[in-house]
Amino acid sequence: MTTKRNPSVLIIGAGATGMLAAIRLREAGITDVTIIEKADRVGGTWRENTYPGVACDIPSHHYCYSFEPAPWSHQCALGPELQDYMEYVGRKYGVTEMVRFNELVTSCVYDDHGKWTVKTDKGAVFVVDFVIAATGILHHPKFPEIEGLDSFAGDSWHTAEWNHDVDLEGKKIGIIGTGSTSHQIVPELVNAGHDVYVFQRTPQWVFPFPNLKFPEWMRNRWRAKPSRMRPWKWFYQTFVEQFFVKATIGAPVQNALLNFSVKSYLRLAVRDRELRRKLTPDYGVGCKRLVVNFTFYPAIQKPNAHLITEGIARIEPGGVRTKDGNLHELDVLVLSTGFSNFSYMRPMEMVGKAGHAIEQSWGEGRYPTSRAILMEHFPNYFLMLGPGTPVGNNSVIGMAEAQMGYVLQLIDLWRDGRADEIEPTSEAVASFGAFLKKGLTGTVWLGGCQSWYQDADGVPAIYPYKWSTFIKSMEAVNTNELTMRQFQKDEVSHAV
């Protein structure tokens, strides 16, 4: 019987994917695992985003770990419940105790002999065999480039940095942006009776999905016997995979149904023609990330809600001046302007083989990877949810579970002594880029909108194929796509 080698693995980030990576590594018998987390708690997205109305917009029985179903209170869990869930999973699976909190990774440098040196802002230095970057996709708040933004005299913040110390009672609140986040916040503020001014640059298509509350007796039945949740997971998973994902990649029936749903919803929910005109996008359904919501349209029609579409000229101490010359006086200005895309694990110093810096690979709007996990010149370094990952509007937790299975197979090549250094070939990287690009034809993402979905070469940051294709692509590692090196022996390229 041969014993497997036990590698040292460092995980960056203790959000949903970092915790998953730690759990799976431990299950595989890998004991030397360190997690570095910049914040003081696990949870990632659900720890950071605490804005009013924060909730998942994917059904929670599907948006959770496959091995840890939960008796969710709502069809789409609210932010605090998701955060509690993440913390619970962290405790139950012994992840929390493995995490170094309040510590930021500042550099990852490869030594050309199978080891990464990882440094943190606390002065700690780790030398490890593998790094897993579980840093999430959208986490660096994007501040709009609007003249006078800093001159605003009232309180102002980005949605990901909600200031709970400010009492909003009796205040005039402005919100710039109308993405998924804004669609969740606006109804909360309007329904609480605040005077809300929504500055819309581009309208969004909205898929109607009421957030049903599950009755307590049902949740008790789930608590008593968790296997009762299986049909729910199956139902939601099937709905998302067979309807949403297929609609986005151009399946005719699903796409027609999606178009019918969002367009009829807008027509039925907004009866005022002028308001409806303002809320009607001029691009294809799903081209920008679809908003899943059932509360925004009713809220925006209330007397204390104001939709402003004239375009922002500048921000002044007293409020927002629009291009028609009007000054919209405000006490609070909320920036719901999204996140810097393609940041992933950056900013940090990242130097791979032979001094190759990440900027040399990921520059000029290009983010090449192999299977969204591996990068050429950065051996033994794996991305969770890297560019080319999101599969339609599906659960990123499901995607991460599939990717982690692939990562474990890669690590197993090392554990079995078949390789000390694992890197994708340049052909594999080029072929994955071409594969993603080819898949874009016929998808909703070419629907004539401005979106962050494509890089400078037209390679999408999302995965433009069916869920089953993605799952299949994660089933078995194809060693022909890898350059594997053993330092004791001669270099073995494309080893099988």
- Using CB under 6 A as the criterion, which residues of the chain lie in contact with ligand NAP when the complex forms? 55-58, 138, 144-146, 176-182, 201-202, 289, 312, 336-339, 450
Length of the chain: 496
Work out how close the CB of 341 gets to ligand NAP at its nearest, in angstroms, rounded to a whole number.
8
Q: Which residues are within 8 A (CB) of 93 and not within 5 positions of it... i.e. 6 or more apart?
A: 19, 22, 23, 26
Nearer to ligand NAP, 338 or 368 (CB): 338
Q: Are strands 155-158 and 332-335 parallel, antiparallel or unpaired?
A: parallel
Nearer to ligand NAP, 246 or 289 (CB): 289
Q: Which residues are within 8 A (CB) of 227 and not within 5 positions of it... i.e. 6 or more apart?
A: none
Q: Produce one character per residue of 14-50: b if its CB has 16 or more CB atoms within 10 Å, e if not.
A: bbbbbbbbbbbbeeeebeebbbbbbbebbbbbbbbbb
Nearer to ligand NAP, 56 or 173 (CB): 56
Nearer to ligand NAP, 119 or 142 (CB): 142
**Could you give the CA distance from residue 194 to residue 354 in angstroms, rounded to a whole number?**
57
Work out how close the CB of 66 gets to ligand NAP at its nearest, in angstroms, rounded to a whole number.
18
12 neighbors 121 (Cβ within 8 angstroms): no
Nearer to ligand NAP, 178 or 370 (CB): 178
Work out how close the CB of 450 gets to ligand NAP at its nearest, in angstroms, rounded to a whole number.
6
Nearer to ligand NAP, 287 or 422 (CB): 287
Q: Taking CA 448 as the corner, what is the angle to CA 446 and CA 454, rounded to the nearest 5 degrees?
A: 50
Work out how close the CB of 212 gets to ligand NAP at its nearest, in angstroms, rounded to a whole number.
15
**Could you give the CA distance from residue 211 to residue 268 in angstroms, rounded to a whole number?**
19
Query: How many CA atoms are closer than 13 Å to the CA of 192, on its beta-carbon side?
Result: 16
Nearer to ligand NAP, 75 or 96 (CB): 75
Nearer to ligand NAP, 149 or 413 (CB): 149
206 neighbors 181 (Cβ within 8 angstroms): no
Work out how close the CB of 349 gets to ligand NAP at its nearest, in angstroms, rounded to a whole number.
27
Q: Which residues are within 8 A (CB) of 439 and not within 5 positions of it... i.e. 6 or more apart?
A: 249, 460, 463, 464, 465
DSSP states along 348-392? SEEE-GGG-BHHHHS-TT----BTTTB-TT-TTEEESS-TT---T
C-beta pairs of 254-263 under 8 Å, 24+ apart in sequence: 255/285, 255/444, 258/207, 258/285, 258/286, 258/290, 259/285, 261/207, 261/208, 262/205, 262/206, 262/207, 262/208, 262/290
Query: How many CA atoms are closer than 13 Å to the CA of 123, on its beta-carbon side?
Result: 0
CA nearest 124: which of 230, 246, 60, 37? 37
Work out how close the CB of 286 gets to ligand NAP at its nearest, in angstroms, rounded to a whole number.
12
Q: Which residues are within 8 A (CB) of 3 and not within 5 positions of it... i.e. 6 or more apart?
A: none
Work out how close the CB of 239 gets to ligand NAP at its nearest, in angstroms, rounded to a whole number.
16
Work out how close the CB of 140 gets to ligand NAP at its nearest, in angstroms, rounded to a whole number.
12
Work out how close the CB of 205 gets to ligand NAP at its nearest, in angstroms, rounded to a whole number.
12
**Could you give the CA distance from residue 347 to residue 148 in angstroms, rounded to a whole number?**
27
Work out how close the CB of 394 gets to ligand NAP at its nearest, in angstroms, rounded to a whole number.
11
Nearer to ligand NAP, 144 or 318 (CB): 144
What does DSSP assign to residue 241? I
Nearer to ligand NAP, 264 or 450 (CB): 450
Nearer to ligand NAP, 241 or 420 (CB): 241
Work out how close the CB of 84 gets to ligand NAP at its nearest, in angstroms, rounded to a whole number.
16
CA nearest 381: which of 425, 350, 342? 350
CA nearest 433: which of 351, 496, 339, 361? 361
